């Protein structure tokens, strides 16, 4: 059987689909009492078995537990205080189905939270694409260029001086056409998206 490699676009789409499904399933599983017993740190010490919520556990370990003030919190706090709150919510058996003909609040919240968290999961597991070599040229009538411009803009906002440069330029002029091409193209992408 021939081996088929995925193109970068196919790999990106597959990561989107898998991360969406995994994060939503992990959040949905919090309705079941006892999930924290297999969650891993900080709720239970890791004893060699896989976490029941690997994506969420990775985010908590990588970001939440490294924050000043939270990195020194005792295991007892996580297990007995936070864990008890989560378990009490699980025991409440809140409805996630349709309430009075509309989607229930728990279903709405879990869907919204999973949509936000899946972006963080993709960033942690896939990283952030570096801008291309020709990051200064964008055709505003080409969807691929607009998408690339938004990626480049986001990358520069996070890792570069894009935010400072934008504010400095905005102080000089209120015309979008006076901003860098990446800002103009990213603006066009945001309006369309």
Instruction: List, for residues 42-71, the tens digit of each pLDDT value.
Output: 877 666 677 888 888 888 888 888 888 888
Query: 172 vs 119, 160, 175, CA distance in Å?
Result: 34, 20, 9
Residues of the chain with pLDDT under 70: 1-3, 45-48, 93-104, 106, 127-135
Question: Widest CA span of the chain, in angstroms?
Answer: 62
Residue 128: which residues within 8 A CB-CB, separation 6 or more? Answer: 154, 155, 158, 159
pLDDT of residue 179: 87
Instruction: Please tell me the predicted confidence (pLDDT) of residue 99.
Output: 52
Q: What share of the chain is helix, strand, coil (3-state, %, to 5)?
A: 60, 0, 35
pLDDT score, position 91:
75
């Amino acid at each position: 059987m021939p081996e088929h490699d995925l193109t970068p676009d196919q790999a990106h789409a597959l990561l989107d689909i898998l991360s969406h499904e995994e994060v939503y399933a992990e959040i949905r599983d919090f309705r079941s009492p006892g999930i924290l017993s297999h969650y891993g740190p900080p709720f239970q010490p890791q004893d060699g078995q896989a976490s029941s919520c690997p994506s969420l556990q990775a985010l908590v370990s990588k970001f939440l537990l490294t924050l000043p003030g939270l990195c020194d919190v005792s295991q007892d706090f996580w297990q007995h205080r936070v864990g008890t709150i989560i378990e009490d919510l699980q025991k409440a058996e809140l409805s996630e189905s349709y309430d009075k003909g509309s989607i229930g609040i728990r279903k709405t919240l879990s869907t919204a939270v999973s949509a936000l968290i899946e972006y963080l999961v993709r960033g942690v597991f896939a990283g952030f694409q570096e801008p291309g070599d020709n990051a200064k040229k964008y055709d505003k009538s080409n969807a691929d260029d607009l998408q690339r411009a938004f990626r480049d803009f986001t990358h520069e906002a996070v890792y570069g001086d894009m935010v400072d440069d934008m504010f400095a330029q905005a102080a000089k002029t209120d015309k979008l056409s006076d901003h860098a091409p990446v800002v103009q193209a990213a603006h066009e992408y945001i309006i369309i998206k």
